[in-house]
Structure 1
Amino acid sequence: MIRGIRGAITVQIDNEEEIISATERLAREVIRENGITAESVSSVFISVTHDLTSGFPAKALRQIDGWTFVPVMCMQEIPVPGSLQKCIRLMFHVNTDVRQEGIKHIYLEGAKVLRPDLFKS
């Protein structure tokens, strides 16, 4: 079965190095927490908010060994007034037998506000 695995992170400034670094950090955390291998991934969608234009976050996945052939697409998030700024979102499409409740969606930095239900004490 193909499952979607979500993640998001915010950055402080619009700069290519920070965008790629944050995306790589998030991707590695999603991969680690969910035991994902590149072979099990159908594709990865990456969206950024309209205020991030200095680099392609997909470059981050190319820095991870074994991820050369995974299809990755970057796009711009819908610019809804009042929405979280400087945010990078990932959606992994993974072939897995893990049930929905076993998937670990990862939200880092300021992006934790997007899913407060995942961070209840």
Structure 2
Amino acid sequence: MKIDKSLITGSTTMLVLTLLNAGDKYGYQMIKELEEQSDNTFSLNEGTLYPILHGLENDGMVESFMAVAENGRKRKYYRITKKGKKLLEDKKKEWEFFSSKVNKVIGGVTYVGA
């Protein structure tokens, strides 16, 4: 099922922080993991991901560093900070509240998918 981009836009910060909460990652790795973990429902391109990461970095939610990847190439990695973990916790609570109210309005019906 195709998801309206406006629904995804409001949750991208939470999704990116969740990926980083599991460990340090580089951009392309985050894109691939998000696709895999969402059964290809969420597919960010670099033009969407990097502005999110840069904004989070400017706000002190993540920090970047250079490291050598498994293939021997230098890559820019990102890690979540303590401040970012707090934001993630707040975003998850916000999402749980929001989704419970949406489900309440639509009768508690959840989409199972095909």
Same fold, TM exceeding 0.5?
no
Give the number of the structure with larger relative contact order, counting CA–CA contacts within 8 Å between residues 6 or more apart: 1
Which is richer in strand? 1
